[in-house]
Amino acid sequence: MSDWTAVASTVEAKTERERARRWRPGLSPLGGAALLLVMFLAVPLVALVWRALGEPGIWAAAGQPLVLRALRLSVVTTAVTIAVAVVAGTPLAYLLARRRFRGKRLVEVVIDLPLVLPPVVAGVALLMAFGRRGLLGDALGAVGIELPFTTAAVVLAQVFVSVPFYVRGARAGFQAVPGELEEAAAIDGAGTWHTLRRVTLPLALPGVASGLVLCWARALSEFGATLMFAGNFTGRTQTMPLAIMSAMERDLNAALVLSVLLLAVAAAVLILARLVAGGRVEP
Amino acid sequence: MTMLEQHRFTARRDGWHCRPMAVMAIVALLAFGLVLAGCGASAGGAERKATTAPAGGATVSATAEAAGALTGELTVFAAASLTDAFQEIGAQLEADNPGLRIVFNFAGSQALRAQLAEGARADVFASADEVTMEGAREDGSIAGEPRIFVANQLVVILPADNPAGVQELRDLARPGVKLVLADETVPAGRYARQILTTMGRNPSFGSDFTDRVLANVVSNETNVRQVVAKVQLGEADAGIVYASDVTPAVRADVTVLDIPAEFNVVARYPIAIVRDAANPTAAEAFIDAVLSPAGQDTLTRHGFLPAPSGGDQ
């Protein structure tokens, strides 16, 4: 950062600070609307935690096998999904950001569609493709693979609905890296792989990380496609959201515990991701 | 670094790429919520009065015949297995009363009970079993006496092409058969397990029959209709569902294997007015329509058994 921009940003920060001091939230219609929205988002979460903590026997419910097995399955399946996203999604995101090729538009549509599809549709689509009677069902069956009702089906459902979030985020990250820097590295004698590893990837990290967080969050909350394609079996296909749905039928306490756990895990990862991404971009 | 600067840094660094979309979604959600709240308020305010217990079975056709008299919105919470039959009965009642609009919420009986206990607004609750209705009464969700309006029993369904070659009930215990049941918290799932236990006590099935069948379960669906869907799609080799779930739309895709009466369970379905119902008049009319000969006819056409003992508990 040059001296000039440092001065400019200090001045800017000072005037903004003064503006912030004068501003009274809630008095203007703008502030009122904003406050209303923040309340709307915060109140249900507070209510959930409040209710859960006020419930006697809530901690006993947390130790239930149903809760633990669902938590473990969610952690394992989303970890595999994240791995698939990084391994397969990063090259795709890089190509989309850096190269022009025939059919690029089509690829982008294919990437974007799962983002807007209702998850249940994704589940039906997965069944139509990978189910026993699906398009690829016979081929899979011939080599002894039956996907529905397996943990693999849970991962497939998560990959389908969540990896597009990663690809979009990572693509934006790569696009934010100036091409001149890569060229400069190449002039200095760095190979393609070396440039990618030492220059492009570190600079693209904020976008990549935010994409990864969104992808993981979507995978963790996946419900509709999983229920449709993988079914609901404790320890095998019953992830946290499915366990919450099942627990609602039996025991509100267990459902509350699961919900609060999911909320806590999600909050922890969000904070962690911010710390990691933040630590890398600031000098 | 001040709070403000820090805030600006975080905003710049995480760079959510879909922010405009998220904002639009939130605005849309809020608008939708406001519209819903508005509707709820007007419907609730229009006709709030003390709920009276439904009078016996005597007024069955009297209310139904007061055609066109019913107005407002009627919310019916009903067990998933009642979906088709109740929609048909509801459509008829709406046709007779142009001012009436019926909103259905079909789900597992337990989920409905939980929703009622948490204060969901409804006028009528129809459960797939008496245990759940009794529970709802204990919650304080129910006004008056529930009435048994129909009965149901269970059957085994197989995909029409029968991929696992299941010929008789005994085959359900064969290793490799993919069986889908309703979750044991849902009445249909509880009945299925009850039936399997009864069969296990019979020497002709063998003592470990129940365990072997349960070892074949690949999914416990939270809703009995999902069991039907999994079998209909051919993903599961067998499922245990209500006879009424084999609707005309399903019939072509599945084969039905009857469960003998000595093992089967007869599920009795109770129906009742919900406490603090916003539209008790219409609620009572709906229950009467269900109990009327026409309603009973609709229900039996959908595979239900007629209500035992004339409709009263």
Handedness of CA A182, A186, A190, A196 (dihedral sign): positive
Helix axes A252-281, A240-250, angle to 10 degrees: 160
Give the separation between CA A141 and CA A18, rounded to whole angstroms: 68
Tokens of B110: 């337990």
By C-alpha distance, the chain B residue nearest A112 is B18
Name every residue whose Cβ is closer than 8 Å to that of residue A7 and which is 6 or more positions away in sequence. none
pTM for this prediction: 0.71
CA distance B245 to chain A (A): 18
Domains of chain B: 48-151+268-311 (3.40.190.10), 153-266 (3.40.190.10)
Contact list, B10 vs chain A (CB under 8 Å): 274, 278
* Backbone torsion region of residue B144, taken as left when φ is above 0, otherwise alpha when ψ lies between -120 and 50, otherwise beta: left
Q: Which helix (H) or strand (E) holds B124?
A: strand B124-126
A277, B8: Cβ pair inside 8 Å? no
DSSP notation for B199-250: HHHSTTT-TTHHHHHHHTEEEEESSHHHHHHHHHTTSSSEEEEEGGGS-HHH
**Mean pLDDT across the stretch B21-40?**
47
**Mean pLDDT across the stretch B2-19?**
40
> How far is CA B136 from its chain centroid?
15
- Residue B7: phi and psi, rounded to 5, are -60, -45
Count Cβ neighbours within 10 Å for each residue of A112-142 and write b for 16 or more, e otherwise: eebbebebeebbbbbbebbbbebeebeebee
Contact list, B235 vs chain A (CB under 8 Å): 127, 131-133, 148-149
**Mean pLDDT across the stretch A173-200?**
86
The answer to whether B208 and B201 are in contact (CB under 8 A) is: no
Give the separation between CA B282 and CA B51, rounded to whole angstroms: 12
Angle in degrees, CA A238, A240, A243, rounded to 5 = 55
The answer to whether A179 and A49 are in contact (CB under 8 A) is: no
Give the separation between CA A244 and CA A156, rounded to whole angstroms: 21
Give the separation between CA B199 and CA B4, rounded to whole angstroms: 70
pLDDT of res. B218: 95
- For residue B150, what are the β-bridge partners? B269, B306
Domains of chain A: 1-54 (no CATH), 64-281 (1.10.3720.10)
pLDDT per position as a tens digit, B216-228 = 999 999 888 899 9
Q: Which helix (H) or strand (E) holds B269?
A: strand B266-274
Whether B44 shows a pLDDT value over 50: the answer reads: no
Band of residue A199 on the pLDDT scale cut at 50, 70, 90: confident
pLDDT per position as a tens digit, A56-101 = 777 777 777 888 899 999 999 999 999 999 999 999 999 999 889 9
The answer to whether B156 and B172 are in contact (CB under 8 A) is: yes
A281, B13: Cβ pair inside 8 Å? yes
By C-alpha distance, the chain A residue nearest B112 is A249
Of A17, A133, A248, the CB nearest to B4: A17
Whether B169 shows a pLDDT value over 90: the answer reads: yes
Return the minimum-mean-pLDDT range out of A26-30, B64-68, B139-143.
B64-68
- For residue B105, what are the β-bridge partners? B77
Alpha helices (runs of H) in chain B, residue ranges in sequence order: 3-14, 19-46, 60-65, 83-96, 109-117, 130-139, 187-201, 209-215, 224-232, 248-251, 280-291, 293-301
E strand intervals along B160-186:
179-182
pLDDT per position as a tens digit, A227-281 = 989 999 988 999 999 998 888 767 777 788 889 988 988 888 888 777 766 654 4
CA distance B178 to chain A (A): 9
The ipTM, to two decimals, is 0.71
pLDDT per position as a tens digit, B182-211 = 998 888 999 999 999 999 999 999 889 999
